[in-house]
Amino acid sequence: MVLIKNEQNSREVNTTQLQKDAQSILELLDYADFDLGILLATDEEIHELNKKFRHKDKPTDILSFPFFPHLKAGQRIEVASEDEKNLGDIVIAPNYVYTTLDQWDTSFDERMRVLLVHGICHLLGYDHIKDEDYEVMKKQEEFLLNALKHQ
């Protein structure tokens, strides 16, 4: 189940579409019965989380907190119980996303979709620290974005 909590009010977010996209991604990846939390946060909230967990004293657009932090890209999650059917949580700062749109040449809704895909990929062990990891992650993101566009 996808649970969205909106703690910000500076930007209107189509939470219905965000939830639909998230559930579609879970279905595409064969994790339809897993939980996913999405928090829509203020710039200040994401700044504090970024500082606390990544030691970066600035706001950002998205943070991911995987339930299985040692999962490797492409590795299938194996659960021992129903309680472990959880991908983790994503925090997105819609205002920050909006104020940085000029860097991306896209609409707000499309950027939110890209970030959702990006965040879910991180929850599943994908990363972009090394160039070769970036290529693997980019390929998975493109697959998911393309699939969403054709639904």
CATH of the domain at 100: 3.40.390.30
Render pLDDT for 12-46 as a digit per residue (tens, 0 to 9).
999 999 999 999 999 999 999 999 999 999 999 99
Q: Cβ distance 46 to 98 under 8 Å?
A: no
Based on C-alpha coordinates, what's the Rg of the chain?
15
Q: How many domains does the chain have?
A: 1
- Name which of 16, 18, 24 is nearest 97 in CA terms: 18
Rounded to two decimals, what is the model's pTM? Answer: 0.93
pLDDT tens sequence across 76-125: 999 999 999 999 999 999 999 999 999 998 999 999 999 999 999 999 99
